[in-house]
Amino acid sequence: MTTVIQDRDLCRVRLRLLDLFKSFFGEEPDAEKLARWRGIFAALTRAQVSPAFDRGAGTIADLLWGKSLRELQHEYCLVFANPSAGRRVATTVSFYRHDRNDGEVLAGIREIMAEAGLARDPLATAPADSLVVLLDILAALVEAEKDEDEPQARELTARLVTEFLVPLAENLTAVLKVNAHADFYMHCGRLLRSYLDLEMELVDER
Which pTM value belongs to this model?
0.90
Calculate mean pLDDT across residues 96-120. Answer: 83
Could you give the CA distance from residue 24 to residue 106 in angstroms, rounded to a whole number?
Answer: 23
pLDDT of 5 > 60? The answer is no
- What would the pLDDT profile of 26-53 be if each residue is shown by its tens digit? 999 999 999 999 999 999 999 988 999 9
- Provide the pLDDT for residue 146: 75
Please report the pLDDT score of residue 2 as a whole number.
35
Across residues 140-145, what is the average pLDDT? 89
User: Does residue 101 carry a pLDDT above 60?
Assistant: no
- Share of residues in the chain with pLDDT > 90 (%): 65
- How many other C-beta atoms can be found within 10 angstroms of the C-beta atom of residue 57? 23
Q: Report how far residue 100's alpha carbon sits from residue 106's, in angstroms, rounded to the nearest whole number.
A: 12
Statement: residue 123 has pLDDT above 80? no
Residue 22 · residue 135 · CB < 8 Å:
yes
For residue 164, what are the CA distances in angstroms to 15, 49, 122, 128, 181?
18, 23, 22, 11, 26
What pLDDT does 1 receive?
A: 31
Q: What is the pLDDT of residue 37?
A: 98
What span, in angstroms and rounded, lies between the C-alpha atoms of 61 and 56? Answer: 9
Q: 131 with 25: CB under 8 angstroms?
A: yes
**Average pLDDT of every residue of the chain:** 88
Q: Average of pLDDT values for 69-98?
A: 86
The predicted structure's pLDDT at residue 196: 96
Q: For 70-95, what is the mean pLDDT?
A: 87
Length, in residues, of the chain: 206
Strand partners, 130: 92
Contact yes or no for 120/136 (Cβ under 8 A): no
Give the per-residue pLDDT at 160.
96
**Range 192-204 average pLDDT:** 89
Identify the structural domains of the chain with CATH numbers, from first to last. 2-205 (1.10.3480.10)
Q: Phi/psi of residue 92, each to 5°?
A: -115, 150
Q: What is the pLDDT of residue 148?
A: 60
